[in-house]
Amino acid sequence: MRQAHLKPPLLEMRGICKQYGTTVALDRVDLTGCAGEIHAILGENGAGKSTLMNILSGMTMPDSGAISLRGSLVQLRSPAEARAHSIAMVHQHFTLVPAFTAAENFALDVKGGNSAHFSVREAAAPIFKKAEELGWVFDPEARVRDLPVGVQQRMEIVRALATGAEILVFDEPTAVLAENEIEELFAVLRRLKEEGRLVLLIAHKLTEIMAAADRVTVLRKGKNAAVSDISSTNVAQLAAWMVQGSEVLEPAHVLPSLLPRRSSAEGGETLLKADKLVVYGDRGEAALRGVSMEVRAGEVLGIGGVDGNGQTELAEALAGLRKTAEGSITWKGGRFLPGRTLTAAYIPQDRRRDGLAVNMTIEENLLFEAVKDREYRKWSLLRRHSLRKLGQRLVEEFDIRTSSMFLPASSLSGGNQQKIIVARALYRNPEWIVALNPTRGLDIGAARYVHTRLLQARERGASIVLISTDLDELRAVADRAAILSGGRLSPFSLDSASSIELGLMLGGAGALEKGDELA
């Protein structure tokens, strides 16, 4: 790594500025990356990471600033120009066509001549060869939508490499992966580095950066906060740079285990009991294949696992939004009808897709539940005055930062949008809370806020099911945990399980044999 410093920098971005309307996205940001380096770019949501990378990949033009490659100035006016300069991006949301086969997707990248004969196989051949060099084999006939996300990501990587890219930008590549897949990805990144490429890794999980990167550039509110070798920093320092600059946080705040875990003996009475649930997904597939669980009062049950193993279906079944095909759910031994026999709250996973109507006002978004309340109606008309007061109270109580609650919800930052959802879910002090990845895409401050609120709800005796792909989150908040894999639940211990064991469990195969041992 030392010697990487002596080489002329492969990439140098100097004084990059970018303004959207009155919002300054980037303010004189510098970034230097050398060949043979994994360079992490760290920052909270809205710190400017994505804007910087969009500029590098030619999707956005900077207002001012210079980009030079190997010492010579370049202009990146379009993604095509960026590609011509050997810069490639591996997007967080894949750019593959789900209905196409692997070969067809690869063939899309090939500049088609005007020849009447076009063979998908021939066109895709060089990319498959590239994959072979990496030791990856793809079934050319497999439809992309049938492939696991890890494989799809590899396809994206191979596509980027096939363009001869020397600078590879990875936009939050681990967000969709299970722990064992993350390890594999890091191995690939290291290999790319050894081949003399520059890997730019956008991330906001500190432990991953510590594990994978050589150097890190920290952005805060559109400005450079720090540049450092990974070897001369630590997690707490990184978090401090990211959040407030100089002051070092106590490590405990980085991964907040805010309250001591409760052992099962401490818990209250068993409130929810699910017995051998079978639930079908939207396409009629069996998403849950016999899930049983019990949740006590004042307890957080964490459910880990990789997306697409029945998480959404389980959450919706437990929130009363999806019918169970077989099995039963009981509440205090009686009927389970959320909203009728018990007060329930659901925090859906994708706030823009499932949580908010972003075109409606902040106030209206806060009132999804309240308008159903008889208390806020006179005959069948809504009591505007009381509703407005409630909205104002929630904005204050949950610290939603906005100049007016009559602005559309889209005007808020991600963290504040999530506060709307949390406020809506928790203000009525529900006895039963289902949260699905409630902190995905949030920065540390906002995530900690959500966790605190959930734990406060636990303290007053609510039963909580927290379904999350983030094991750190489960460790911080859950009292007990289980892994959902292939539609089945297996218990695991939050304290003892190592990442490798966990990875095996998440992989599905290990779940059944390992599960019993760990419990």
From residue 406 to residue 445, the character string flagging contacts with other proteins as x (rule: CB under 8 A) and all else as - is --x-xx------------x---------------------
| 26 neighbors 17 (Cβ within 8 angstroms) | yes
* Least Å from the CB of residue 284 to other proteins: 14
Q: Counting contacts by CB under 8 A, is residue 360 touching other proteins? A: yes
Task: Please give the residues from 378 up to 397 whose contact with other proteins meets the rule CB under 8 A.
Answer: 380-382, 384
For every residue of 185-243, DSSP letters joined together read: HHHHHHHHHHTT-EEEEEE--HHHHHHH-SEEEEEETTEEEEEEEGGG--HHHHHHHHH
Q: Rounded to the nearest whole angstrom, what is the least distance from the CB of residue 26 to other proteins in the complex? A: 12
Q: Indicate whether 281 belongs to the interface with other proteins (CB under 8 A).
A: no
Find the shortest distance in angstroms from Cβ 432 to other proteins. Answer: 13
Asked if residue 118 binds other proteins (CB under 8 A), the reply is no
What is the helix (H) or strand (E) element at residue 72, kind and residue range? Answer: strand 72-74
Which one, 26 or 155, has the nearer CB to other proteins? 26
Residue 403 found at the interface with other proteins (CB under 8 A)? yes
Least Å distance, CB 220 to other proteins, is: 18
Considering CB under 8 A, how many residues would be counted as binding other proteins? Answer: 36
Strand partners, 272: 295, 331
- The answer to the question of residue 355 lying near other proteins (CB under 8 A) is yes
Compare residues 409 and 506 and give the one whose CB is closer to other proteins: 409
Q: Convert residues 318-337 into a mask of x (bound to other proteins by CB under 8 A) and - (unbound).
A: -xxx----------------
Q: What is the radius of gyration, based on Cα positions, of the chain?
A: 25
Q: Does 151 bind other proteins (CB under 8 A)?
A: no
- Burial of 457 (C-beta count, 10 Å sphere; 0-12/13-18/19+): buried
Of the candidates 411, 488, 421, 492, the one whose C-alpha atom is nearest the C-alpha of residue 450 is 421
Bridging pattern class, strands 11-20 and 286-296: unpaired
508 lines the binding site for other proteins (CB under 8 A): no
Give the separation between CA 296 and CA 270, rounded to whole angstroms. Answer: 4
For residue 306, how many C-alpha atoms fall within 13 Å in the half-sphere facing its CB? 22
Per 3-state DSSP, the chain is made up of helix, strand and coil in percentages (nearest 5) of: 40, 25, 35
Question: Binders of other proteins among 252-271, rule CB under 8 A?
Answer: none
* Three-class DSSP category at 408: strand
Among 170, 336, 346, 432, binds other proteins (CB under 8 A): 346
- Of 54 and 439, which has the nearer Cβ to other proteins? 54
- Provide the minimum distance between the beta carbon of 181 and other proteins in the complex, in angstroms, as a whole number: 28
Closest among 466, 453, 474, 508 to 315, alpha carbons compared: 466
Question: Closest distance between other proteins and the C-beta of residue 377, in Å?
Answer: 7
348 lies in the site for other proteins, by CB under 8 A: yes
Residues 6+ apart with CB under 8 A from 11: 31, 32, 33, 56, 67, 68, 69, 167, 198
* Closest CB to other proteins among residues 136, 368: 368
Question: Which H or E run contains 13?
Answer: strand 11-20
- Of 97, 337, 357, 500, the one binding other proteins (CB under 8 A) is 357
Q: Helix or strand or coil: residue 3?
A: helix
What is the binding site for other proteins (CB under 8 A)?
A: 20-23, 25, 319-321, 338-339, 346, 348, 353-360, 364, 367-369, 371-372, 377, 380-382, 384, 403, 408, 410-411, 424
